[in-house]
Amino acid sequence: MSTGLDNALDSIPTQANGSRARSFSAMVVDDHPLVRESMVTRLRGMGAREVVEAATAGEARARAHVSGPRELCLLDLGLPDGSGLDLLSDLRGAGWQRLVVLSAADDPYSVRAAFVAGAQGYLLKSASPVVVVDGVRRVLDGGVYADPAVASMLAAGLRGGPVDSGVADLSGREIEVLRLVSDGRSNKQIGEDLGLSALTVKSHLARIARKLGTGDRAEMVAMAMRGGVIR
């Protein structure tokens, strides 16, 4: 039986202009064959030169061990042999840099836990075709992306409650820097956008790292998202 996600993905037009599609390698992890097939087709349309598939966490780990880190992994959280959160942590520890969750789970715990485990993107299976493709492209460009419904939920879920240590101490300028980091911009590009030198941007990032307790750009953005200061 075809799912709404399958129909949505099949309705997204592939890029006709090959010059705009970036070449990348990917892995798709989902126990639903139709979802895997649809995503593989879509990723190839976006420029993927090679895409491997896995139906379970164990199969994904085995394929990752053989091939090493690929440029993108798109995975579900609900896998038949274990938690996708554990798989996220394992892949992140193995050097995978662009990890995107595509899940039906839209509760605040799952979303926050995915970013903590190392995801750079979180997409809902009910998302529009444009959101799915834009989210994948944003992560491929080095940014961090949350489905609009998820981003709102992250902020709302934490209003009136505790926020990550250090997030409340971020200055307005530091939040501006983090917002541009989430768009995948380099230090030089951030400086050009804000009228700062690359060295000044580097100093801002160093202060942010001290306040948040991490120098990992994706983790800093995830913490800021969970704290509701950027979306």
Over residues 26-73, the pLDDT tens digits come to 999 999 999 999 899 989 989 999 999 999 999 999 999 998 999 999
Residue with the bigger pLDDT between 220 and 16: it is: 220
Architecture of domain 4-156: 3-Layer(aba) Sandwich (3.40)
* Model-wide pTM > 0.85: no
Q: What is the pLDDT of residues 154-210, one digit of tens each?
A: 655 444 344 455 787 888 888 889 889 888 888 999 999 888 898 999 989 988 988
Average pLDDT over every residue of 106-117: 80
pLDDT value for 55: 96
Residue 139: pLDDT above 60? yes
163-226 maps to which CATH number?
1.10.10.10
Q: Helices 108-117 and 217-226 meet at what angle, rounded to 10?
A: 160
Residue with the bigger pLDDT between 4 and 67: it is: 67
* CA–CA gap between residue 22 and residue 96 (Å, rounded): 18
Q: What is the pLDDT of residues 140-153, one digit of tens each?
A: 998 889 888 777 66
229 band by pLDDT with thresholds 50, 70 and 90: confident
51 neighbors 26 (Cβ within 8 angstroms): yes
212 band by pLDDT with thresholds 50, 70 and 90: confident
Helix %, strand %, coil % of the chain (to 5): 55, 15, 30
The domains of the chain are located at 4-156, 163-226
152 neighbors 90 (Cβ within 8 angstroms): no
Mean per-residue pLDDT over the chain, rounded? 82
What are the backbone angles phi and psi of residue 229, rounded to the nearest 5°? -90, -20
